[in-house]
């Protein structure tokens, strides 16, 4: 049972959500690329800076795991576009590896509280990002 609804309750493996994963370059100043941008018109319909989806994925719960650069499947990108608050912000992914062997996959805003839970998957399917 989860505290929030899952976008993909039937997803059980990393590959159910992501089609590509690479280690994130650990050099300072290297940023994960932006995957897609969506316009954010203000209340009067004027364009504002876009909502951006980053390829960055933080992993917590196990110290040996490293951050990743990810490419979600198109259906996940479409779900994010249709369900996340459309404001001038950056979205990124986070995985929380739990003691029970599951991993919670989340998409989060960087400037506001407003994360959405994507899925609870088998933690052994999460790449550790070691180079």
The residue ranking higher by pLDDT, 5 or 66, is: 5
CA distance 51 to 85: 9
pTM (predicted TM-score): 0.87
Give residue 130's pLDDT.
Answer: 56
Give residue 2's pLDDT.
Answer: 56
Chain Cα centroid distance, residue 91: 7
List CB contacts of 78: < 8 A, sequence separation 6 or more: none
What percent of the chain lies above the pLDDT cut of 90? 50
Residue range 85-111, pLDDT digits in tens: 777 788 999 999 999 999 999 999 888
Q: Quote the mean pLDDT of the chain.
A: 86
Q: Per the structure block, which two tokens stand in for 79?
A: 């779900």
């Amino acid at each position: 049972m989860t505290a929030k609804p899952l976008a993909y309750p039937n997803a059980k493996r990393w590959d159910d959500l992501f089609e590509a994963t690479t280690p994130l370059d650990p050099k300072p100043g290297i940023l994960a690329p932006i995957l897609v941008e969506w316009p954010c018109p203000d209340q009067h319909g004027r364009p504002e800076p876009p909502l951006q989806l980053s390829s960055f994925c933080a992993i917590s719960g196990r110290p040996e795991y490293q951050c990743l650069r990810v490419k979600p499947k198109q259906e996940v990108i479409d779900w994010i576009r249709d369900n996340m608050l459309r404001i001038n912000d950056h979205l990124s992914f986070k995985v929380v590896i739990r003691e029970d062997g599951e991993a919670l996959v989340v998409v989060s805003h960087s400037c506001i509280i407003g994360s959405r839970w994507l899925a609870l998957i088998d933690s052994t399917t999460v790449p550790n990002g070691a180079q």
